[in-house]
Amino acid sequence: MAADLDALRARYLADLAAASTPDSVEAVRVAALGKSGTVTALLKSLGGLAADERLRLAPAYQALREELAGAIEAKKAALEAAALEARLAAERMDMSLPVLPEPTGSIHPIARVMDELAEIFADLGFAVAEGPEIEDDWHNFTALNIPPEHPARAMHDTFYLAGAPEGRVLRTHTSPVQIRTMTGGTPPIRIIAPGRVYRSDSDATHTPMFHQVEGLVIDRDTHMGHLKWTLETFVQAFFGVDDVVLRLRPSFFPFTEPSVEVDVGCSWEGGRLAIGGSASWLEILGAGMVHPKVISNCGLDPTEWQGFAFGCGIDRLAMLKYGMTDLRAFFDADLRWLRHYGFRALDVPTLSGGVSA
Ligand code: DAH
């Protein structure tokens, strides 16, 4: 009998050692310890034996059952551990890869100010308009009531384009976008036109390329009061100051009548500029009521349509708001300057979030 047990043990342990899947381990369990397994049958047979026989054999049978049950559990656990190991190896992830690369680079202060302008004026119902940087003489000058012999042309230090069709210039201001908007659409018109302009001029406050924003409103009853309110509202929002005082000084532009230059009240506290109050004045833009000749040059009837326009240097706005002193640094592409004055790529100005940084 004892020899039988040894043979059984050896057979099942060998089967277990050979088993490589949970199913084959289960097959060994069923064969040995299942309802009609061999070891189960041995244990059942104890009931039919004489008491002394039973006492003699029972411990050995039970020991065999325990041993096999233990070996089967151990084999199952080993197979499960190996399967988990294989899965972990297959599903391995390289956690050293950067998850979200930090954006490098930054938004240039001029682009930032243009975004701020678009946001502020959109809230007032203005669309953003564009025009070409290579303009023809008519849009840049003549239609704006600056005829060929007009002295205002000399003030513009115009770049004329050699080799281009007659009369092509790099636009000297954004005002030609007024002409393109009026000839290309029908009033009422409410637009701003930010963009690059060019003049042959260079020192600490002038670069041959710089930026302007044009504003144009054409409607039936628009008047200087609307102009002043619009500019005040813009300056308040742009500088984030409620106490804004504007001073309109009579001036001259060929394309507006009357024309004004607009100063904003400010103060200098310990050499630092603060917008607000009226202790001191800074000129920020030119404006006026659109000249009837300009309106009729665009094919509109000036007895029916009128409005205001303004033009403003964007670079200067950026300098006043963000405290740069040398305009030329704007265009030097010096990374240290850009990192210092630039804006984060995802930091988009909104009126609700505040257009003031
Ligand atoms: N175009 C003018 C310039 O570059 C600026 C300007 C002044 C634009 C008055 C306007 C305006 O629209 O009404 O100097």
Query: Residue 144: CB within 6 Å of ligand 1?
Result: no
Q: Does residue 313 carry a pLDDT above 90? A: yes
The residue written with tokens 């509109």 in the block is: 300
Tens-digit pLDDT profile for residues 330-349: 999 999 999 999 998 877 88
> What single DSSP character describes residue 276?
S
80, two tokens = 């499960």
Among 62-71, 198-207, 234-243, which stretch is predicted with the lowest mean pLDDT?
A: 198-207
Q: CA separation (Å) from 108 to 121, 238, 243?
A: 20, 17, 28
- Site to substitute for ligand 1 among 153, 181, 210, 255, most atoms within 8 A of C-beta: 255
What is the rounded distance in angstroms from the CA atom of residue 92 to the CA atom of residue 95?
A: 9
Q: What is the reported pLDDT for 357?
A: 53
63 alpha carbon – ligand 1 mean position (Å): 105
The H or E element containing residue 23 is helix 22-33
Report the C-alpha gap between 81 and 74 in whole angstroms.
Answer: 10
Neighbours of 318 (CB within 10 A): 23
For the question of whether the overall pTM of this predicted structure is more than 0.75, the answer is no
Q: Is 210 in the pocket of ligand 1 (CB under 6 A)?
A: no
Atom of ligand 1 at shortest range from CA of 178: 12
**Tens of pLDDT, residues 101-152:** 777 789 999 999 999 999 999 999 999 999 999 999 999 999 999 998 888 7
**In terms of C-beta density within 10 A (0-12 exposed, 13-18 middle, 19 or more buried), how is residue 4 classed?**
exposed
Half-sphere exposure of 122 (CA within 13 A, CB side): 12
